Amino acid sequence: ELARDDAMEYGLLVMGAPYTSAAPHSALRFAKAVISRGHQVAGVFFYQEGIHNASSLMTPPQDELNMRDAWIALHHEHGVTLDVCIAAALRRGVMSEAEAKRHGQAHFNLDAPFELTGLGQLLTLQQRCDRLITFA
C-alpha cells in the first residue's frame, strides 16, 4: 500500500476499438494494475475508434470478455469516469438517447455511465492527472 503522497492519479485515452485493437484491453489491464497498487484512475476518455467501447449493441460471444461491461464494472468499483468524444461518436453512429432525438434518429446505443463530452473534457483530465496514458 502506497503512502498518500506517493499515490499517482492517471487518466487514460483509449483510441482503439474493442476486438480489432489490443488498446482497450491493455488500457483496462493497466487501470486494474495501477489501482491494485494504490494509485487512482480519474477517468477514461474514448476517442476515435475507441468510442465503440461504449456501444450497448456490442454482443461478443459469451466466452469472451464484454469490454463495455468491463468498463462499467471499473466505473462502479472505482468511480472511474467514462467520457466519450461526442464528435467521434456521432460520426460513427454511437449516440445517447438525447442525441438520437436531437438528430432525428430512431435508436440510440450509448447510456450511463458512459457520457458524451467534448475534447475539453480530455484537456481537463490531462490537467487533473499526474499522467495521461494513451492506448492506440
Q: What are phi and psi of 49, to 5 degrees?
A: -70, -15
Choose the catalytic residue: 12, 17, 23, 85.
Answer: 85
Q: In the sheet where 131-135 sits, what is the strand order?
A: 114-117, 81-85, 40-46, 9-14, 131-135
The string of DSSP codes covering 53-102 is GG-TT----TTS--HHHHHHHHHHHH--EEEEEHHHHHHTT--BHHHHHH
Q: What cell was used for 125? A: 483530465
Our answer to whether residue 85 is catalytic in this structure is: yes
Cβ-based neighbours of 27, under 8 Å, separated by 6 or more: 12, 14, 44, 133, 135
The set of catalytic residues is 85
